[in-house]
Amino acid sequence: MTQFVLENLDVRHGQLKAVKDVNLSIGRGEILALVGANGAGKSTLLRSLAGAHKASAGRILLDGNDISGLTSFQRVKAGVSLVPEGRKLFQDMSVEENLILGGIAGRGGSWTVAKVFEAFPNLVKRRNAKASTLSGGEQQATAIGRALMSNPTVLMLDEISLGLSPAAVDLVYASLNTVKAGTTIVLVEQELSRALQFATRIVCMLEGQFVLDRPAKAVTREEVTASYFGKNRGAH
């Protein structure tokens, strides 16, 4: 069943059109990895879907409802949550306090502080530690947990591997494997091998447009890499 739909979406940075007339349908429970070179428009697209960057044209539909005019907080209440690049935690607050803030939208659902600690066991001993004292992996786990506290039906993750050690990335993805059931996930991931292993679908962006859209099991690393540079433009 289709859950998230983008219709002719344009997003601008001033006069620069960063996302150009894109169309996309995402099924319920699908895990979509958005890949592409730096500057392709991936993060801008996620921020637009989350309501943090207003689209200049087009529509965004969630479960058939047009959410294009909603604020970012209203979109969280509707079920769309973003883990932004750089985590953006409240540095002087504890892990637990950051998680509690994530539930402020008041959406019903199964995610609680206790369930987040169950999904991210590396945070248990750090629950009272300030976010500023956490390692990169612990910060990323806290940011994901905070987003889950809003009980999203669509969870978006921007550059979750950025700046983390391989061991920390392993822990983050191991935890994501325990939380992905029943949640639609859209993630921006620069580590192509991670994207191919975790996602069910790969979409590559180039210069603000989609140039490849394939099931993860049906696409090779070489095909995706070629799309980064426009060699497979329009591949499906």
36 is written with which tokens?
């592409």
Give 70-98 pLDDT, tens digit per residue: 999 999 999 999 998 876 888 899 999 99
Cα–Cα nearest to 160, from 150, 149, 170, 148: 170
Give 46-77 pLDDT, tens digit per residue: 999 999 999 999 999 999 999 999 999 999 99
Q: What is the pTM of this model?
A: 0.91
57 is written with which tokens?
């044209």
Position 104 scores a pLDDT of 87
Q: What b/e sequence results for 108-126 when a residue is b if at least 16 CB atoms lie within 10 Å of its CB, and e otherwise? A: eeebebeebbebbebbeeb
Res. 217: pLDDT tops 90: yes
Give 2-50 pLDDT, tens digit per residue: 899 999 999 998 888 899 999 999 999 999 999 998 889 999 999 999 9
Give 189-213 pLDDT, tens digit per residue: 988 889 999 999 999 999 999 999 9
Give all domains of the chain, ordered by start, each with its CATH number.
2-85+154-228 (3.40.50.300)
Give 164-178 pLDDT, tens digit per residue: 888 888 888 988 888
Res. 236: pLDDT tops 60: no
- With cut-offs at 50, 70 and 90, classify the pLDDT of residue 232: low
User: In 3-state terms, what secondary structure has residue 223?
Assistant: helix
3-state helix, strand, coil in the chain (%, to 5): 35, 30, 35
Query: Which residues 6+ apart lie within 8 Å of 128 measured at CB?
Result: 94, 95, 96
Position 79 scores a pLDDT of 94
Taking the C-alpha atoms of residue 99 and residue 70, their distance in angstroms, rounded to an integer, is 23
Res. 1: pLDDT tops 80: no
User: In 3-state terms, what secondary structure has residue 63?
Assistant: coil
